A and B are shown apart, each in its own frame.
Chain A
């Protein structure tokens, strides 16, 4: 158990993981940056160095900034809705005495489904004639048949709703686990002090939840900025790019227009944005030191 023996042991234990990481994670990160400086079309064998031209074009591209706007809107609305609904669900679960296990299991169902499955479920629900949404709408307004995924005003809200449905359980579970750890004595003391339900929630519960909510905020923000599967299946970024997030924009540039170099530039921007968000959160919560 010598210090030098420890150091050697450490590298022996680390070596396999680090070598794999070097190949499948680090090398691609370096390579994608290099690719973003090229004009590259693999099937035609085109590979020319163009410096920052791709980035310059991105800066001028209306579609790129549109994707940026869509991503921002999607992220802010989704995460806000999920946090509110998640906390509400967790508080409700906490009030449940029996059958909590069943509730938790049911609640977890949407979260563990593959994104593609959720996409197909909501594609069917949003179907203009046979879908659940429009059958419910028809009960209220007989002749209305909104085209949820085809109307540019409705498509993004429809996608957001599907995403909120899918990810609220994650936040609910996270918050619930934290709430369970709060000793009953805390609430009893509050009741003794004459605090009503609302005051208890705002003054005691919420502050206790702050660390968990910050974690949830980080995870969900990163996930929302990275979201791909759901909108790819539901709308493919359409109609007319109103649901095209940065990830879809990058994917389209990479594989549908065959511009691997330009696509890599947009991929680098998305990646850098996400990493910056993660870094910012680490720094803000002081966890960088704890890492």
Chain B
């Protein structure tokens, strides 16, 4: 028992040490001078006040919440039915479609940013939420479809077939049998989509011009400093920009593991 206690302490200690960079940034954001070593002298919320009061961050955070939520909902709404069709129904060229979808999730954002830029420009969507939402969806949608297909495949067909035998129509079988079992998988896919959309940088950086549409990562990258770099303010802004994804991940931790394992283990 004692050695197990030591092991526990060591592992916990090691993991805490691993989080040092985050702690360092947190400390920087809480000292008046911007020097983490001063954290012993006393904590100060001055940087947070500065960031929340007089910087582009609050607006950027709002933009990020809206855009990430929209991408997540859009991807879920489009991916779920499509994934069901690909997993359960006869579709001509299904394998080709799936291979195409899987390969398109591998694309780097830099590969399609130029034509997307031209589209945004042509449609007059520069500096709007819609531009970023559309661009993010181009990557979030294939990812969602692929993940949900994997989840549906894990559920034995017999489940719905049994419901059909009991006299339920396909729609009822979907609603009462498949959906509840699929719910955690959908949650996992939505979580990963939200994370992707929130953290996405290249597309948001290219398509936004002002605070009207700038997302939190972009605002953090461009954080204003006239002459000197305001490390304390940047640290506070970093913490704020990380809060939503961290909260979401912690809340849905279990689903995250499912999501990460999805489509990978064919056992």
Direct contact, A vs B (beta carbon within 8 Å) = yes
Binding site for B on A (CB under 8 A): 1, 3, 6-7, 9-11, 13-14, 16-18, 20-21, 24-25, 27-29, 31-32, 35, 42, 89, 92-93, 95-99, 101-110, 112-122, 124-125, 127, 130, 132, 135, 165, 170, 173-174, 177-178, 211-212, 215, 222, 225-226, 228-229, 232-233, 247, 250-251, 254-255, 260, 263-264, 267-268, 270-271, 274-275, 277-279, 282, 287-288, 290-291
Q: Is the CB of A215 within 8 A of B108?
A: no
Q: Is the CB of B12 within 8 A of A109?
A: no
Q: Which of B84-124 contact A (CB under 8 A)?
A: 84-86, 89-92, 95, 98-99, 101-104, 106-116, 118-119, 121
Q: Tell me the smallest distance from the CB of B114 to a CB of chain A, in Å.
A: 5
Give A6's nearest chain B residue, CB to CB.
B89
Could you say which of B41-49, B50-58, B175-183, B230-238 contacts chain A?
B230-238
Q: Tell me the smallest distance from the CB of A249 to a CB of chain B, in Å.
A: 9
Q: Tell me the smallest distance from the CB of B2 to a CB of chain A, in Å.
A: 12
Cβ-defined partner of A27 (8 Å) among B115, B135, B199: B115
Known: A10-B90, A173-B257. A116 touches B108 (CB 8 A): no
**What interface size band does chain B fall in?**
35 or more
Binding site for A on B (CB under 8 A): 4, 7-8, 10-12, 14-16, 18-22, 24-25, 28, 35-37, 77-79, 81-82, 84-86, 89-92, 95, 98-99, 101-104, 106-116, 118-119, 121, 134-135, 137-139, 141-142, 145, 164, 170, 195, 198-199, 201-202, 206, 216-218, 220-221, 223, 231, 234-235, 238, 241-242, 245-246, 248-250, 253, 256-257, 260-261, 264-266
- Contacts across chains A and B counted by CB atoms under 8 Å: 280
Give B105's nearest chain A residue, CB to CB.
A278
Q: Is the CB of B90 within 8 A of A278?
A: no
A267, B238: Cα distance in complex, Å: 30
Q: Tell me the smallest distance from the CB of A174 to a CB of chain B, in Å.
A: 5
Known: A116-B241, A122-B21, A275-B107. A17 touches B141 (CB 8 A): yes
A96, B7: Cα distance in complex, Å: 6
Known: A127-B231, A270-B108. 15 other contacts (CB 8 A): A17-B141, A24-B141, A27-B115, A105-B253, A109-B19, A110-B19, A112-B249, A114-B201, A117-B241, A121-B24, A130-B231, A174-B261, A229-B199, A268-B111, A282-B99
* Chain A residue contacts of B135, Cβ below 8 A: 24
Cβ-defined partner of A96 (8 Å) among B8, B16, B37: B8
Q: Is the CB of A13 within 8 A of B81?
A: yes
Q: Tell me the smallest distance from the CB of B14 to a CB of chain A, in Å.
A: 7
Question: Looking at chain A's contact residues, is the secondary structure mostly helix, strand, loop, or mixed?
Answer: helix
Q: Is the CB of B265 within 8 A of A110?
A: no
Known: A6-B90, A212-B265. A247 touches B110 (CB 8 A): yes
Q: Is the CB of B245 within 8 A of A1?
A: no
Q: Tell me the smallest distance from the CB of B32 to a CB of chain A, in Å.
A: 15
